[in-house]
Structures are given as C-alpha cells and as structure tokens.
C-alpha cells in the first residue's frame, strides 16, 4: 500500500456514530438548492433553442422588410378631407405641368425606407429627407413654375396670387405680384377699374 493510502483506523464505526448524531438541512434549504440546480440548467436548454430562435428572427425581419417594400410602393390613398383642407396654392401646384414633375424626379427616385413607421397622415407630409431632396431640386421647379406662369392668362395668374394672399403666404404673394406687374404692366390698374 502506498504511503498515505493506508487507513490509520477503521472509519466505519466512527461514521455510524457520526451519522446517528446530528441534524440535517431544512426542507426549505433543500428546496432552494434544488431550485438553483434547475435554474442552472435553464441556459443550457436555451442554447439548444438558439438556432431556432435565430432563424425565426431572421425570417421575421425578412417578412417585415418585404411588407414595407410592398407598402411603400402602393399609392397613399387621398381622402376627401385631404382635398378639402389643401390650400388653394397647393391645389394650383398640383395642376403644374409634367415638366415640373420631371424636374422633381430625382427626389421621387430615392429608395424607399426599409422600415417606415410613420402614420398614413405623416406619410403624406414630406419627410425631412424628402423635403431636403425637394429643396435640392427647387431651381428646376422654379423654372417650371415660371414657364407655367407665362403660359397662364393674366386672370388665372392674378387669381393664383390672390389665393396665395388668402392662405396667408403674403410674401410669396407680393413677390409673385411684382413679377406679375413686370409681366403685365397696367393690367392690374385696368382690372381694378373694371372691378372696383
């Protein structure tokens, strides 16, 4: 027998005496330890399900993107209240010729957002990025507006100016009126004489 492996005395009788001579952990203690042992295995079970949950997450993300792409491609429905609440100037802008729309195409060609969480109402209002893109094409739009102004009759143009003023866009109305006066000098005076 190797040194240290021999038994200096028989431990059996001593163990029996020790076993008969003590208490034991409480049931509450037993429950706590067994619960801890069960909890410790929970992450192990979780790891087993990780690939499944990952695949489910990827599938869900793909579905959401697809839904968003199809949703952004569909035209936003315009309600009757939208038409009624639109200012006259906007109504006039909507009647702009195709040239103006063509010049604004770069903005329209921007890729749709991957996840557009805006409400239908806010979608109808230009998003900040979209507004920026629109402002970037403003010179082209202005040219289109100028050519549009030139193609209008003085009566139509003046009516549009009055509509601007009525809607509160006074500065634009004044600027437009100045352009109108330079384009049709004396027309306004004669018009006012005819319609006092």
Partner 1 sequence: MEGRDADAQLMLRYTAGDVRAFEELYERNRAGLWRFIRRLVRDAAATDDVFQECWSRVIGSRGRYRPTARFTTWLYRIAHNCCMDHWRKSGRRAAHETTDDDAIAATADAPASGPFADAVADEARGQLTRALARLPEDQRIAFLLYAEGGLSVAEIAEQTGTGAETAKSRLRYAVARLKEALGNDAPVD
Which C-beta is closer to partner 1: that of 26 or that of 109?
26
Which C-beta is closer to partner 1: that of 33 or that of 115?
33
Instruction: Give the nearest distance from C-beta 120 to partner 1 in angstroms.
Output: 51
Instruction: Give the nearest distance from C-beta 54 to partner 1 in angstroms.
Output: 21
184's CB contacts (< 8 A; 6+ apart) are 154, 157
Which C-beta is closer to partner 1: that of 24 or that of 117?
24
Which C-beta is closer to partner 1: that of 18 or that of 76?
18
Instruction: Give the nearest distance from C-beta 53 to partner 1 in angstroms.
Output: 18
Which C-beta is closer to partner 1: that of 22 or that of 119?
22
Instruction: Give the nearest distance from C-beta 50 to partner 1 in angstroms.
Output: 15
The span from the first CA to the last CA of the chain, in angstroms, equals 131
The dihedral region occupied by 24, where left means phi > 0, alpha psi between -120 and 50, and beta the remainder, is beta
Q: Which long-range contacts (C-beta less than 8 Å, at least 24 apart) are formed by 167-176?
A: 167/87, 167/88, 167/89, 169/89, 172/89, 176/149
Cα 102 from Cα 39, distance rounded (Å):
65
Query: Residue 132 in 3-state DSSP?
Result: helix
Instruction: Give the nearest distance from C-beta 56 to partner 1 in angstroms.
Output: 23
Instruction: Give the nearest distance from C-beta 72 to partner 1 in angstroms.
Output: 47
159's CB contacts (< 8 A; 6+ apart) are none
Chain positions contacting partner 1, by CB under 8 A: 2-11, 13-26, 29-30, 32-34, 36-38, 40-41, 44-45
Largest CA distance in the chain: 133
Which C-beta is closer to partner 1: that of 5 or that of 81?
5
| Residue 86: DSSP 8-state | S
């Amino acid at each position: 027998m190797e040194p240290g492996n021999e038994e200096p005395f028989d431990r059996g009788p001593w163990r029996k005496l020790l076993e008969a001579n003590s208490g034991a952990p409480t049931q509450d203690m037993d429950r706590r330890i067994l619960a801890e042992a069960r909890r410790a295995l929970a992450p192990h079970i979780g790891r087993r399900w990780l690939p499944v949950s990952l695949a489910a997450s990827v599938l869900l993300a793909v579905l959401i993107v697809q839904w968003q792409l199809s949703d952004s491609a569909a035209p936003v429905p315009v309600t009757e209240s939208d038409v009624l609440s639109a200012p006259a100037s906007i109504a006039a802008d909507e009647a702009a010729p195709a040239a103006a729309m063509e010049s604004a195409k770069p903005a329209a060609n921007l890729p749709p957002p991957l996840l557009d969480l805006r409400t239908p109402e806010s979608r109808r209002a230009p998003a900040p990025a979209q507004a920026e893109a629109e402002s970037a094409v403003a010179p082209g739009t202005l040219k289109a507006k100028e050519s549009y102004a030139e193609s209008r009759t003085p009566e139509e143009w003046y009516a549009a100016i009055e509509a601007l003023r009525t809607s509160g866009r006074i500065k634009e109305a004044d600027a437009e009126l100045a352009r109108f006066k330079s384009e049709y000098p004396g027309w306004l005076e004669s018009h006012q004489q005819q319609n006092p």
